[in-house]
Structure 1
Amino acid sequence: MSLPPDPSQDPAQPSGEDLFVCIDHVGVAVPDLDAAIAFYASAFGMETVHRETNEEQGVEEAMVAVAGTEQRIQLLAPLTPDSTIAKFLDRSGPGLQQIAYRVVDVEHTAQVLRERGLRLLYDQPRRGTAGSRVNFVHPKDAGGVLVELVQPTAG
């Protein structure tokens, strides 16, 4: 039995380093943001490091930090009953909603992924948390996982 060729040995096969810097955060859909913040603080000792309302995305959100690290969990609550997060909660209930990868250039990464046959939700990046630029890979093209691409603001 022969093994398939190792893609790391083939320069024509791009590696993950070509696209992603790191996992930026994991998004969790919640029906009540204040209750979720209180739970993550009391149960897990996590501190809220950022909170905002993103009208364009239809969410109120908070970034909570894993103690002593730069790792974040993004808590997402719907602003309206017809928002994407509200629909997710109706369909799936509270829980893991997305994984977000940090990228250097969201437009470049989106282009590469499109060339690899993946669908992105937006033609152009949109505003994300704290002014970041974001786009999403369609979950049907990523094994059922909503993948967010995050280009943080400079500085």
Structure 2
Amino acid sequence: MLTKIHHVGVVVHNADEAMKFYRDALGLKVTADRVIEDQGVRGVLLEIGGSEIELLEPTREDTGVAKFLATRGEGMHHICFESDDVDAELDGARAKGIELIDQKPRLGLAGMICFLHPKSNHGVLVEFATPLKDGHGH
């Protein structure tokens, strides 16, 4: 079951520069900051209330995030909904004919994650996440 908006993903050229706004100016607390090698991104999560902002900085040019940045520039990338069972959410989306990017959940910064294709979601990239016991995908 979807329980809340877990985070909103924002693609940036430089996460350190972006943190000058989100962390320093707005006062949001960094809860995770790491490079996810297989996705070719540096992800930074900043907490706000019961949700987070995820800054995504590409670390390679051959990734979807890098291509997004090259074609669309910095800005809103995706919305992530938290679920207690990402596998069931993915199966439910598949059964409803929603176009999927991921055929099975995988480990990400927010825990076990999967993405739904924006073609099925009115142009919005949607992510489902089930956080791990420590709250993230560590």
TM-score (normalised: structure 2): 0.91
1:116-131 matches, cutoff 5 A: 116-129=96-109
1:72 to 49, 52, 60: 52
Q: Deviations for 1:96-139, whole angstroms, at most 9, x for unmatched residues? A: 00000001111111111111110111111111115x11100100
Q: CA RMSD in A?
A: 1.2
Greater radius of gyration (CA): 1
Whole-Å Cα distance in 1 between the matches of residues 13 and 3 of structure 2?
30
1:89 equivalent in structure 2: 69
2:32 is paired with a residue of what secondary structure? Answer: strand
Q: How many residues align?
A: 134
Answer 1 or 2: higher relative contact order, Cα 8 Å, separation at least 6: 2
2:79 is paired with a residue of what secondary structure? Answer: strand
1:56 equivalent in structure 2: 38
2:92 equivalent in structure 1: 112
Per the TM alignment, residue 83 of structure 1 is displaced from its structure 2 partner at its CA by: 1.4
Runs of 4+ in 1 over 6 A off after TM superposition: none
Per the TM alignment, residue 70 of structure 1 is displaced from its structure 2 partner at its CA by: 2.6
Say if 2:133 is the partner of 1:151.
no
Say if 2:8 is the partner of 1:20.
no
Say if 2:115 is the partner of 1:136.
yes
Whole-Å Cα distance in 1 between the matches of residues 117 and 45 of structure 2?
23
1:102 equivalent in structure 2: 82
Whole-Å Cα distance in 2 between the matches of residues 34 and 22 of structure 1?
27
Say if 2:25 is the partner of 1:46.
no
Whole-Å Cα distance in 2 between the matches of residues 123 and 114 of structure 1?
9
Whole-Å Cα distance in 1 between the matches of residues 51 and 92 of structure 2?
26
2:123 is paired with a residue of what secondary structure? Answer: coil
Structure 1 unaligned segments of length 5 or more: list them. Answer: 1-18
User: Whose strand fraction is larger, Structure 1's or Structure 2's?
Assistant: 2
Per the TM alignment, residue 35 of structure 1 is displaced from its structure 2 partner at its CA by: 0.6
Q: Deviations for 1:77-96, whole angstroms, at most 9, x for unmatched residues? A: 00101111110111111000
Whole-Å Cα distance in 1 between the matches of residues 75 and 56 of structure 2?
10
